[in-house]
Amino acid sequence: MSKRITIDQAVEMIKDGSTIMIGGFLGAGSANKVIEAMVKAGKKDLTVICNDTSFVEYGSGLLVANNCVKKVIASHIGTNPVTGEKMMSGEMEVTLVPQGTLAEQIRCGGAGIGGFLTTTGLGTVCEEGKQKVTVDGKEFLLEKPLRADVALIGASVCDKFGNLVYRGTSQNFNPLMATAADLVIAEVKEEVEEIKPEYVKTPYLFVDYIVKA
């Protein structure tokens, strides 16, 4: 059965109030056409998990700037002034997470692991409200896994089965996020008949639907 759907069909699957993982690093590797269509459709009350909120006019930042998002979980917001403004005014909740911790939380979510121990954030605001665990006399923070209702993946190439390849740095968070959501929609730039197994970065079994950008 073909996994190919239209952008409008993809947007219809994303419900108001959903938790969405959005791959990309400053918009590189993001499902930008789907994001634009989400803004046009007036999606709202989303919780967005992403590495950063990109820029005002691009990537996940476009959702923030157009009032589609109620909460952001990210490691960096500095390139999007609207995110900072909304955070300071209380209009939008922002949870800042160290980048490595964020990646591992998503990996744990995809692997079915209940959490992991880290010293990153000890003695800072990052430890507030978190459980501490002592191992061999050393203290760690327990970081819990992250999962989402939908993951929006930006890939360079897909084949007829739904296997994905990423070019350059566009890979970033995408392979991790593809494992950690109930529904995975991949926006791709190019389609080919088949990709050699050794080149596949995200296997087809993680991908529910494909949108051609």
Average pLDDT value over all residues in the chain: 96
In order of start, what are the domains of the chain with their CATH numbers? 7-113+147-212 (3.40.1080.10)
Residue 79 CA to residue 193 CA, distance in Å, equals: 38
Would you say residue 2 has pLDDT above 80? yes
Asked whether the whole model's pTM tops 0.85, one would answer yes
Binning pLDDT at 50, 70 and 90, where does residue 213 land? confident
pLDDT of residue 126: 85
pLDDT in tens, 35-78: 999 999 999 999 999 999 999 998 999 999 999 999 999 999 99
Tens-place pLDDT, residues 152-200 = 999 999 999 999 999 999 999 999 999 999 999 999 999 999 999 999 9
Q: Taking 80 as the threshold, does the pLDDT of residue 144 lie above it? A: yes
